[in-house]
Structure 1
C-alpha cells in the first residue's frame, strides 16, 4: 500500500490489515558520470514497492535528501545536516505512530556512515519515546552487497559501480548514460580533507563495466527477500 497513492478510506482500511510501514530514505548525490543523482532513492523505493506487492504493509513517500559527506564537493550532490535528517525521521515516525502505525522500518538507500548514524540515533531515541513502537534501521546497500555476494564480481564494490549500475540498468535503463571508469577513492585514512573531489575525481567506487541488467534483477530480488525477513522479525517482536 503506497501511502501517497491512497485515499483516506483506503488508509483506514489498510490499518485493519497491518500496522507496519517502511520509510525509504535516499539522497540527491553524484553517482559517477553515468548514473542519475537519485540512484539511492530509486533503489530504496523500488524494493519497498516490490515488498508491498508481496505482503500487506504501508510504504511511506521517499525522503529525497540525506547526509552526503564524501561526495559533498561533487556537482549535483545536495546534502542536509545530521540534525535535520534525525529530526525529519523522528517527526515522520511520530506522526505515523499517532495515526496508528506501530512497526517501522527506516530503509536507507544511501550507504554513507554519517547519514546512517543519524537514522540509527533517531531510531534509538524513538524507542524510548514511543512505548508500543518496534523499529528497524537498515541500509539497503548492505543488503545488496551481502545478499548479492555470489553475483558481484568486483571486490569492495561500493558506489556507482557494478552493483548500483546493474540495479539501475534493470529498473530504469533509460537513465543510464553509458559508463564510467573503474575507480577507488584515495582518502587518507583518519584525515579530514577539504577538497574531497581531489581524492575521488570520478565519483565511482567499483567497476561499472561489469554491470548487467540481469545482475541487477537478481540482486534486487535478493534484497526484497532479505527485507521481507526483517519485516517478519519486526512484526513477531524478535
Structure 2
C-alpha cells in the first residue's frame, strides 16, 4: 500500500482520507553533499522518512519541492536553489490545498537547514489562518537530540554536513547511491569567532563539499538512527497531533 498521494488514484485517496489524520510533508534540497553522496541526499532522505513515518501513523505523504534555499552552496557544481519567498509560497499552497481537502494535522520532515526559517513561518501562518496543529523537525539537526545519548557515533562532530551521521543514514536508506570509496575526512578550520554568522563562502571552508569525517559512517549506525527517529516522531504525532 502506498502512502504518497501522488501514487494514489483519486478514489483511493478519497477513501484513505476518511481514516488518515496527518499529512506528512517532506522538504529538502539538491546540493553538494560530499564526493560520496548524491546531491539529492536531503530530499531523498526526507521522502523516505516521510513514507516510513506515514506507515507508522497511517498518514498521507504530500507532494514536495526537490530543491531548497541552498544559496551558500551554489559555488559547487550541481547545487540548484530557490529563494525563501518562492519556497514559502509553494509550501503554503500545499498546506492550504490539504486544508481544503479536510486535513488539519501536518508534520514536516525537513532535511535542509536553509529551509527551516521559511517553513517555520509558513506553518505558523497556517496555524493562525486555519487553526492547524503541526510539528516540524529539521531532521539532520534532530538526530543529535535523539541519538547522541545512544553512543553510536565515533567522530568528534558526527552531525556536520555530509559527515558520519548523515552518511550513515544514507547508507541505510540508499546504499546503492553512496560510494564509500570516495568518502573523505575534511577537518574543520579553526573558528576564532564562534556563534557569529559569517560572510565566509562554504567553498572556503571545504574543498570536498563535506565537513567532518564521513569515513566512519556505517549502515548499522544509520539503522539505529532512523529507527530511533521514527519512533520519536510517531509518538509526537500520536500523542500530540492526533489527540
| TM-score when normalising by structure 2 | 0.89
Residue in 2 that maps onto 1:146: 145
Bigger shift: 91-100 or 57-66?
57-66
Return the match for 1:169 from 154, 168, 171: 171
Bigger shift: 91-100 or 55-64?
55-64
Q: What is the distance in 1 between the residues matched to 2:197 and 2:105?
A: 37
Residue in 1 that maps onto 2:236: 230
Mapped pair 1:115 → 2:119: no
Bigger shift: 212-221 or 148-157?
148-157
Residue in 1 that maps onto 2:77: 75
Bigger shift: 5-14 or 141-150?
141-150
Where 1:148 maps in the other structure, the secondary structure is helix
Q: Give yes or no for contact 1:103–1:234 (8 Å, CA) kept in 2.
A: no
Unpaired segments ≥5 residues, structure 1: none
Q: Give yes or no for contact 2:25–2:106 (8 Å, CA) kept in 1.
A: yes
Q: Give yes or no for contact 1:22–1:104 (8 Å, CA) kept in 2.
A: yes
Return the match for 1:191 from 188, 194, 198: 198
Q: What is the distance in 2 between the residues matched to 1:233 and 1:74?
A: 42
Bigger shift: 96-105 or 175-184?
175-184
Residue in 1 that maps onto 2:38: 36
Q: Give yes or no for contact 2:57–2:237 (8 Å, CA) kept in 1.
A: no
Displacement of 1:107 after TM fit? 1.5
Displacement of 1:205 after TM fit? 1.9
Bigger shift: 87-96 or 169-178?
169-178
Q: Deviations over 1:189-221 (max 9, x none)?
A: 44313x431222222122111101111111111
Displacement of 1:186 after TM fit? 6.2
Q: What is the distance in 1 between the residues matched to 2:237 and 2:174?
A: 26
Residue in 2 that maps onto 1:156: 157
Q: What is the distance in 2 between the residues matched to 1:136 and 1:185?
A: 35
Q: Give yes or no for contact 1:65–1:80 (8 Å, CA) kept in 2.
A: yes
| TM-score when normalising by structure 1 | 0.91
Displacement of 1:90 after TM fit? 0.4
RMSD (Å), alpha carbons? 1.8
- Count residues with an aligned counterpart: 233
Return the match for 2:100 from 98, 101, 117: 98
Bigger shift: 182-191 or 16-25?
182-191
Residue in 2 that maps onto 1:5: 7
Where 2:73 maps in the other structure, the secondary structure is coil
Q: Give yes or no for contact 1:109–1:139 (8 Å, CA) kept in 2.
A: yes
Residue in 1 that maps onto 2:213: 207
Q: What is the distance in 1 between the residues matched to 2:83 and 2:22?
A: 28
Q: Give yes or no for contact 1:183–1:204 (8 Å, CA) kept in 2.
A: no
